[in-house]
Amino acid sequence: MADEPLVLGIETSCDETGIGIVRGHTLLANTIASSMDEHARFGGVVPEVASRAHLEAMTPTVEAALSEAGLAFSDIDAVAVTAGPGLAGALLVGVAAAKSYALGLGVPLYGVNHLAAHVAVDQLEHGPLPKPCVAMLVSGGHSSLLLVPDVAEDVISLGSTVDDAAGEAFDKVARVLGLPFPGGPHIDRAAREGSGEAIAFPRGKLDDGTLDFSFSGLKTAVARWVEAREASGQAVHVPDVAASFQEAVVDVLTRKALQACRKYGVDDLLIGGGVAANSRLRALARERCEAAGVRLRVPRPGLCTDNGAMVAALGSDLVAAGVTPSTLEIPADSSLPITTVHV
């Protein structure tokens, strides 16, 4: 292990300044500074606020990660950074910082795809990825099904949301129910006291023959249901609404993920992104994968949400695969396609 390269990973695609340090697939530090508190009162991430927060948090967070790992700048062998997709201004801060560190330390730079990094991170917990595997990434900004023959080189999009991301739906429904932002964890908690079968909410695109998702109809159905209850003077039982909404989301997600496995003859499913922290999604996925004979991998919640370790993990794979490093001219690309694993 000692001779594997030490990789510093920098993630700034949204509101988390994430710094990770890995050696091979061994996690040495995963430090996060979040600007979420500054966005909460707006009910969503404000890009300009996130960018400014990254600029202020960058150096202290890198130093905190080095100190957590008991390492010095001189130990770093490579720098990896999220080059996209994400918020343009936020990405720029991370990419500029990564270029500076790489240049100052005289080490190679790897600009990586945020979504592929969400897949690669699982190796820090569960070892090398099976080749191929199917990955389902569900977060506030993305909901995608991917076929992953090789996370360092080859990732294929099988489907994605045609409107809201799964996490976005959680956040919007939480708002309707008067729960704080970000709503996912609050809905998860409220749902434990309610019944997922209390209200039959629609399951968008469930049997449409594609591997795409749609959550905006569901979000609207929940809002209409709550409005109608309130208009008729009846009480809204928040736990039942939360549980029934959550059940509709995780039912579709798990069914489509297993359809993808079946269609491509793949026996390994990985679930990542912030929504993978959802307790009902984890439980239902486990149950359905077991019944289908599919092996399931879900990183622990701290590795599912945006973090720097995921970027370092993918960087480490790129170094190991002998991929040519990025130049100091790489751009930040807010809509970087998943087919571009590194830039």
Q: Is 94 in the site for ligand KG4 (CB under 6 A)?
A: no
Q: Is 139 in the site for Zn ion (CB under 5 A)?
A: yes
Q: Which of residues 304-343 bind Zn ion (CB under 5 A)?
A: 306
Residue with smaller CB distance to ligand KG4, 66 or 190: 190
Q: How far is CA 279 from CA 146, 152, 192, 202, 304, in A?
A: 22, 29, 9, 21, 13
Are the C-beta atoms of residues 174 and 185 closer than 8 Å to each other? no
Q: What gap in Å lies between CA 288 and CA 273, rounded to an integer?
A: 19
User: 141 labelled as ligand-binding?
Assistant: yes
The partner in contact with residue 257, picked from ligand KG4, Zn ion, none with C-beta cut-offs of 5 to 8 angstroms by kind, is none
Q: Cβ of 67: how many Cβ atoms within 10 Å?
A: 12
Residue with smaller CB distance to ligand KG4, 66 or 332: 332
Q: Is 17 in the site for ligand KG4 (CB under 6 A)?
A: no
Which tokens is 196 given?
């997922």
Which tokens is 4 given?
């594997």
Q: Cβ of 157: how many Cβ atoms within 10 Å?
A: 14
Q: What gap in Å lies between CA 59 and CA 64, rounded to an integer?
A: 9
Which tokens is 115 given?
């979504």
Q: Is 43 in the site for ligand KG4 (CB under 6 A)?
A: no
How many secondary structure helices (H) and strands (E) does the chain include? 12, 10
Task: Please choose, out of 69-77, 96-104, 176-184, 209-217, the segment that lies near ligand KG4 by the rule CB under 6 A.
Answer: 176-184
The two beta strands, 133-138 and 143-150, are antiparallel
Q: Is 171 in the site for Zn ion (CB under 5 A)?
A: no
Which of 139, 214, 254, 326 touches ligand KG4 by CB under 6 A? 139
The partner in contact with residue 101, picked from ligand KG4, Zn ion, none with C-beta cut-offs of 5 to 8 angstroms by kind, is none
Which of 110, 170, 213, 245 touches ligand KG4 by CB under 6 A? 170
The partner in contact with residue 111, picked from Zn ion, ligand KG4, none with C-beta cut-offs of 5 to 8 angstroms by kind, is none
Quote the least distance from Cβ 309 to ligand KG4, whole Å.
13
User: 127 labelled as ligand-binding?
Assistant: no
Quote the least distance from Cβ 13 to Zn ion, whole Å.
7
Which tokens is 60 given?
């202290």
Which tokens is 334 given?
């807010």
Are the C-beta atoms of residues 342 and 111 closer than 8 Å to each other? yes
Which of 85, 89, 94, 141 touches ligand KG4 by CB under 6 A? 141
User: 122 labelled as ligand-binding?
Assistant: no
The two beta strands, 78-84 and 6-11, are parallel
The partner in contact with residue 24, picked from Zn ion, ligand KG4, none with C-beta cut-offs of 5 to 8 angstroms by kind, is none
Q: Which of residues 242-301 bind ligand KG4 (CB under 6 A)?
A: 273-275, 277-278
Task: Please choose, out of 178-186, 197-205, 213-221, 329-337, the segment that lies near ligand KG4 by the rule CB under 6 A.
Answer: 178-186
Which of 11, 122, 164, 171 touches ligand KG4 by CB under 6 A? 171
Query: Largest Cα–Cα distance of the chain, in whole Å?
Result: 68
Residue 111, amino acid: G
- DSSP code of residue 327: P
Task: Please give the residue ranges that form the binding site for Zn ion (CB under 5 A).
Answer: 139, 306
Per CB under 6 A, residues contacting ligand KG4 are 14, 139-141, 167, 170-171, 182-185, 188, 273-275, 277-278, 305-306
